[in-house]
Amino acid sequence: MKDKQLKPIDLFLTVSFFGIILFILVLIIGRGLGAEWIVMENTFDYSFTDHFRHIAFASDMEHFYFNTNDATFPPFAYLLYYILYRINPSSWGVNDWKICRDYRYNVIVFIALLMLVVLFYKYICDKVLVKYSNEKRNLLVIATLLSAPILEGAIERGNISFFTALLVIAALYLKDSDNKALRELALILIAMAAGIKLYPAVVGVVYLREKRWKEAVRLTIYGIAVFLVPFAFCGGFAALIQYLKILFFFEGQGYRSWTNIRNYLLSVSDLLGMYERSAYFVKYFRIAENLFLLLCIVTVFRTDRAWKHTLYPAAAMALYVPYSYRYTAVYMLIPLFFYLRDVKGHHKRQVISDRIYAVLFGLIFTVPIWGMLTSLPADFFIFTPIYILMIYSFAEDWFMNRSVRWSVKKKTA
């Protein structure tokens, strides 16, 4: 008898589009009601700031790490932003990002770049998820592009995290190619992603998990080269030291948000009326986030599901970085793609598990408009499903699957 129940991709699309369509209806009926609630920080005053601000930083390539603490990207990223800066007719102060945004040609260039990234996204989707129909792949692209992490996160803020996530997806797809050149390209793409956002370097643990030692060594060499060589154009050794100081400065920060682990716990403490003790709590929340990172890395070696080799590094990218915003949820695209590619559901318990993941991924990549009925910000409803997904996955890999394997061994004996 044919199974008439929803497949994981159908379940994902149903949950995702439910929130998106409901949000559009609320906008239409409420004459824009909900627009400010869903956008980052409830204001459009800083729309596209992460794109134009870093172009403005790149206008002074020798000194931008000394001019501002907000230059948080590795120098490779600023070489790319410098190319964009070169189309401008005159220079400006390193912090004058609004002048950069208001120059009549820059917004057009941003739109053109965004179109290219979306086309790249569709191309990757067609390659990785070839087992699905073109209609399903189109719906997946539309749903994720209209979701809060991407549209009201990475795109609205102009953050390069979306492009970085696509580089990682492409690399993890190419790493298993029969073509040696494409496998090498995968290493270069990961190094480039780390050269743009730094923390995609954690993806290298996948090569260690699969005992691909030689490739792991080459990846390390590529990564170090992409990180260090651009400093020759961005202030040299002194800039490297200053950049490390900037990273250590932000690593010690904590503020109320529902994004990374440290700040999520600070927000919980605030709800409990204990935020005045936040300075005391931060040191323990820093321990918690580092334990989470360690647990992610260790569990990569424990899980027996291939798609989860991508889940744990991506979760570290999304939840570990202490000074981050909504756009980091975009990194959950990485495990979503490989979950949908590999999902099979051979036995009843696995089918149930796969559907749980489908629903949670759908709740991440949607617009959680139902959250407007509460006093909580949109980020709570975007990131809480990520935390639930990770708790469930840890439990599955450390306890549930262990008990299943134990019962199978007993039956075999």
For 320-375, what is each residue's pLDDT tens digit?
A: 987 788 999 999 999 999 999 998 754 556 788 999 999 999 999 999 999 999 98
Q: How far apart are the first and last CA of the chain?
A: 33
Phi, psi of 87 (to 5 degrees): -80, -5
**Residue ranges covered by each domain of the chain:** 8-405
Side-chain half-sphere exposure of 393, counting CA atoms within 13 A: 30
The predicted pLDDT at position 408 comes to 40
Taking the C-alpha atoms of residue 91 and residue 164, their distance in angstroms, rounded to an integer, is: 28
- Higher-pLDDT residue of 410, 277: 277
**pLDDT band (50, 70, 90) for residue 282:** confident
DSSP class of residue 69? Answer: T
Q: Please tell me the distance from the alpha carbon of residue 191 to that of residue 310, in angstroms, as a whole number.
A: 16
| CB distance 62 to 91 below 8 Å | no
Q: What angle do CA 395, 190, 46 make, to 5 degrees?
A: 85
Nearest Cα residue to 53 out of 74, 76, 84? 84
CA distance 7 to 285: 38
Interior angle at CA 53, CA 51 and CA 54, nearest 5? 70
Using DSSP's 3-state secondary structure scheme, residue 386 falls into helix
Tell me the mean pLDDT in the region 295-306: 95
Q: Which tokens sit at 164?
A: 């970085």
Residue 6 CA neighbour count, 13 Å, CB half? 14
CB 122 within 8 A of CB 116: no
Q: How far apart are CA 280 and CA 277, in angstroms?
A: 5
Place of tokens 């959950």: 332
For residues 55-73, average pLDDT: 91
Among the residue ranges 96-110, 117-131, 274-288, 348-362, the one predicted with the least confidence is: 274-288
Contact 126, 172 (CB under 8 A): no
Beta carbons within 8 Å of 122's beta carbon, 6+ residues apart: 137, 138, 141
Dig out the tokens for 86 from the structure: 């070169």
Amino acid 140 reads L
> Is residue 136 over pLDDT 60?
yes
Q: Which amino acid is at 348?
A: K
List the one residue out of 1, 116, 9, 59 whose CA is nearest residue 362: 9
Contacts by 100-106 with C-beta closer than 8 Å and gap 24+? 100/52, 100/53, 100/55, 100/56, 101/48, 101/49, 101/52, 106/52, 106/55
CB within 8 Å of 306: residues ≥ 6 apart: 338, 342
Residue 155 has pLDDT above 50, yes or no: yes
The encoded tokens of residue 63 equal 């000194």
CB 361 within 8 A of CB 347: no
Of residues 283 and 331, which shows the higher confidence score?
A: 331
Q: In angstroms, rounded to a whole number, what is the distance separating the alpha carbons of residues 175 and 233?
A: 31
Q: Which of 146, 149, 151, 161 is nearest to 50 (CA)?
A: 161
The pLDDT confidence band at residue 97, using thresholds 50, 70 and 90, is confident
Q: Which of 198-202, 272-276, 282-286, 371-375 has the lowest mean pLDDT?
A: 272-276
* Whether pLDDT at 93 is above 70: no
